[in-house]
Amino acid sequence: MTTTSWRPWGREKVRPRSALVAALLCLVTLAASGAVGLALKQPWLFPSLGPTVMLFFAAPEQPASRPVNALVGHFVALVVGFGCVVAFGLTGAPPAPVAGLTPSYVAAGALSVAITTLVLQLIRLPHPPAGATTLIVSLGILSKPLALLSMAGAVLLITLAGWALNFALGRWRH
């Protein structure tokens, strides 16, 4: 194999126009979610949404980019993360970034990612950004019921926006 024929990830060469379109779609989608969050004064913009929209717009052909993967992946992550918060007695505790990392938070965080991964692999709906969502919840960063509801709403919004924008632009290949 020559160095000129090798392509990272086994994909075709990235076209600048496609990269710009993906970036603009990420901007529009996350800005919309953030605007809803500002209006509601709720966390409609959180870290795991970034890689989700990047998958939607930069790699729409990947299985993890399908809307069902995103919706199910984040939903499982929210449930598992909250389950770990409850199981390890962390419901009233200050979040790990504020109070510091404790053995209970380490166990809750590691177990939540492991269980989320297990479930998503078993049901064949992988969505790697869900690993970040379950950590956000299991570390107590966003773990109150209203925050969880807001996170679910944000996931629904960006998934619908991602699907609609990709479909309208003829970018969805599923």
Q: What is the pLDDT along the chain (174 residues), one digit of tens a residue?
A: 444 444 455 556 768 888 999 999 999 999 999 999 999 999 999 999 999 999 999 999 899 999 999 999 999 999 999 999 999 999 999 999 999 999 999 999 999 999 999 999 999 999 999 999 999 999 999 999 999 999 999 999 999 999 999 999 887 654
Residue 12 located in a structural domain: no
Q: Could you give the number of structural domains in the chain?
A: 1
Residue 116 located in a structural domain: yes
Residue 146 located in a structural domain: yes
Q: Please give the model's pTM, rounded to 2 decimal places.
A: 0.88
Residue 30 located in a structural domain: yes
Residue 6 located in a structural domain: no
Q: Is there a contact between 155 and 70 (Cβ–Cβ < 8 Å)?
A: yes
Residue 140 located in a structural domain: yes
Residue 135 located in a structural domain: yes
